[in-house]
Structure 1
Amino acid sequence: MTSDTITVERTIAAPPAQIFALLADAAKHSEFDGSGTVRGTRQESRPLSLGTTFGMSMHRGVGYRTSNEVVEFVPERQIAWQTSGLRGLIGGRIWRYAASRPTAEPS
């Protein structure tokens, strides 16, 4: 069976509120985008929330733009947005970031 879902887990030595603030500001996405395709946003920096829409300038061989809508939002825990682009012809992917619960340190 194949799946269109890819999951990656990372441990980041920073408070969840600090990480979430970065994720919830679309203007900062180019700072942590691992693909190098995000060039910037098409509007001013502002915190994202459920239902917020925002545009991104992208580049992968050729420049293009995407439209995105925040579809999940739990402050300091989870954020996800769904992407569309080229007049709705591409996209549909959901990009989700979720904090895991901290584990107890062994004594």
Structure 2
Amino acid sequence: MHTVAQDSVSATLTVALPAARVFAVLADPTTHSAIDGTGWVQQSADRATLTEVGQIFRMDMYHPNHPNGDYQVANKVQVLDPPRAIGWLPGYRTDEGRLDFGGWTWRYDLTPLGPSDTEVTLTYDWSAVPQSIREYIDFPPFGPEHLTNSLHHLAELAGSHSR
């Protein structure tokens, strides 16, 4: 199931896994390419587990419409509430080496439905994107099915981590 609001899109899936296991997979940046429903995330440039708000983790990306094709994002952890919520603000390094952010966020909310079931909601929010960026990027830059695909990938990955 997915929902499209004015400036966000979300998808929800109930998985037969404990919230702590699902959260552990999300807090490991090396799993994000396998979770990604768009195929844009290539691999994590940082392997450290996400443990604090403000932490930066870089991801190697590919998008055919990006000027370079291959590029890198620097994500800043905005929400970290194990095992209930994790989210980040994608950004990039400017030519001067400063981190800049476009205003869109990714967030996972996990609701335990008992000891072995979890409702997972993935939200992509672009409400803070300035008009100057909206003039050359259409939001969302993918269909809502990509969020549903990501949740299914997450469920498969978290299930395989349990064995």
> Structure 1: how far apart are the matches of 2:28 and 2:103?
21
Shift of the alpha carbon at 1:12? Answer: 1.3
Deviating above 4 A after TM superposition, structure 1's stretches of 4 or more consecutive aligned residues are none
Could you tell me which residue of structure 1 aligns to residue 160 of structure 2?
Answer: none
Q: Which amino acid aligns with 1:99?
A: L
> Structure 2: how far apart are the matches of 1:90 and 1:83?
6
The residue correspondences of 1:5-20 to structure 2 (distance < 5 A) are 5-20=8-23
The answer to whether the 8 Å contact 2:18/2:112 transfers is: no
Q: Which amino acid aligns with 2:24?
A: A
Could you tell me which residue of structure 2 aligns to residue 34 of structure 1?
Answer: 37
Q: Secondary structure at the match of 2:54?
A: coil
The residue correspondences of 1:28-107 to structure 2 (distance < 5 A) are 28-43=31-46, 45-48=47-50, 49-61=52-64, 62-85=69-92, 87=94, 91-102=102-113
Shift of the alpha carbon at 1:70? Answer: 0.3
Q: Percent identity?
A: 33
Shift of the alpha carbon at 1:90? Answer: 6.4
Shift of the alpha carbon at 1:13? Answer: 1.3
Structure 1: any 5+ residue segments left out of the alignment? none
Query: How many residue pairs were aligned?
Result: 101
After TM superposition, the score normalised by the length of structure 1 is 0.84
CA RMSD in angstroms, aligned pairs only: 1.9
Shift of the alpha carbon at 1:39? Answer: 0.4
